[in-house]
């Protein structure tokens, strides 16, 4: 009898323990499954672009002298705002370099600068180094497991020109000076769209390259146009 009473006691004490140990892993598993869905994933937080730079609102007689390259890279904080995380807003910060080659020759600096159309030179270009502050509205058809997807990003960008240089080489003169007559803040908009790694990029600067500039009595309002590729990672 003592044996059966001990056996009964073991069974009565052990059953709740077994039940608890069986149900508890299910609860833990359900929590792990919830976490594994990765509802907090983000996309495209680092960017790099390579562009060809053109011009808008050019004066009469204007021509682009040579190839004008552009380059930029930075970080964008992706912040999805819908349940599926296919829509997001992304503010960021980055560095930009823009080079413009054209036949608008600049004589002097600051408010005393004089602008003229000229074609008798070997080099006439501007170099701008900027600290840029982009913000994007984004759509993509991605999810936590799929990292190859279509995207469309509409962006606005404010760029602070922290260094600008003008280089001119003519038949007898060579000039290389730090410019003070270009706008320090350049505002613009852009769009990038594509699939996976390759994305087409197009940008338009609202702000003219030069501040309070005139050429032959007419306001010089030419600004930058940008066409190229944008790459996003992580």
The model's pLDDT over 205-232, given as tens digits with 9 standing for 90+, comes to: 999 998 888 888 788 999 999 999 999 8
Which pTM does this prediction carry?
0.77
Range of the domain at 229: 46-233
pLDDT at residue 29 is higher than 50: no
Six-digit token pair at 138?
Answer: 């984004």
Residues near 109 by beta carbon (within 8 Å), at least 6 away in sequence: 177, 179, 180, 181
**211: domain CATH number?**
2.40.160
Tell whether 54 is covered by a domain: yes
Q: Of the given ranges (8-17, 68-77, 188-197), which has the lowest mean pLDDT? A: 8-17
Tell whether 3 is covered by a domain: no
Q: What pLDDT, on the 0 to 100 scale, is given for residue 234? A: 73
Top-confidence range, 20-24, 27-31, 49-53, 176-180: 49-53
Tell whether 182 is covered by a domain: yes
Number of domains forming the structure of the chain: 1
How does pLDDT run across 50-66, given as a tens digit for each residue? 999 999 999 988 988 88
Q: Of the given ranges (43-47, 108-112, 138-142), which has the lowest mean pLDDT? A: 108-112
DSSP, res 172: S
Q: What pLDDT, on the 0 to 100 scale, is given for residue 190? A: 98
Q: What pLDDT, on the 0 to 100 scale, is given for residue 170? A: 82
Once rounded to an integer, what is the mean pLDDT over residues 183-201?
A: 94
Tell whether 12 is covered by a domain: no
pLDDT tier at 110, thresholds 50, 70, 90: low
Top-confidence range, 100-104, 142-146, 194-198: 100-104
User: Percent of the chain scored above 90 by pLDDT?
Assistant: 43
Q: What pLDDT, on the 0 to 100 scale, is given for residue 154? A: 97
Tell whether 29 is covered by a domain: no
Question: Long-range contacts of range 177-183, CB-CB < 8 Å, 24 or more positions apart?
Answer: 177/109, 179/106, 179/109, 179/126, 180/109, 180/110, 181/106, 181/109, 181/110, 181/111, 181/113, 181/210, 181/211, 181/213, 182/126, 182/128, 182/209, 182/210, 182/211, 183/207, 183/208, 183/209, 183/210, 183/211
pLDDT tier at 74, thresholds 50, 70, 90: very high
**How many angstroms separate the CA atoms of 174 and 28, rounded?**
74
Tell whether 223 is covered by a domain: yes
Tell whether 59 is covered by a domain: yes
Tell whether 38 is covered by a domain: no
Q: What pLDDT, on the 0 to 100 scale, is given for residue 27? A: 43
């Amino acid at each position: 009898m003592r044996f059966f009473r001990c056996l009964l006691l073991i069974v009565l004490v052990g059953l709740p323990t077994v039940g608890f140990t069986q149900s508890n892993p299910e609860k833990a598993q359900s929590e792990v499954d919830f976490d594994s869905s990765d509802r907090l994933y983000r996309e495209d937080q680092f960017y790099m672009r390579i562009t060809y730079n053109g011009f808008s609102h050019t004066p009469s007689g204007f021509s682009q002298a040579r190839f004008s390259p552009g380059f930029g890279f930075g970080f964008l904080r992706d912040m999805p705002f819908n349940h599926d995380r296919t829509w997001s807003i992304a503010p960021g910060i980055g560095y930009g370099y823009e080079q413009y080659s054209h036949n608008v020759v600049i004589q002097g600096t600051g408010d005393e600068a004089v602008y003229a159309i000229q074609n008798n030179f070997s080099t006439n270009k501007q170099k701008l180094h900027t600290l840029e502050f982009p913000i994007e509205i984004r759509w993509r058809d991605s999810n936590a497991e799929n990292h190859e997807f279509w995207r469309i990003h509409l962006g606005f960008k404010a760029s602070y020109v922290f260094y600008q240089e003008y280089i001119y080489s003519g038949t007898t003169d060579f000039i290389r000076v730090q410019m003070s007559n270009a706008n320090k803040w350049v505002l613009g908009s852009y769009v990038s769209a594509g699939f996976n790694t390759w994305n087409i990029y197009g940008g338009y600067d609202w702000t003219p390259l030069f501040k309070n500039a005139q050429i032959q009595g007419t306001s010089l309002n030419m600004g930058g146009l940008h066409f190229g590729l944008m790459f996003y990672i992580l």
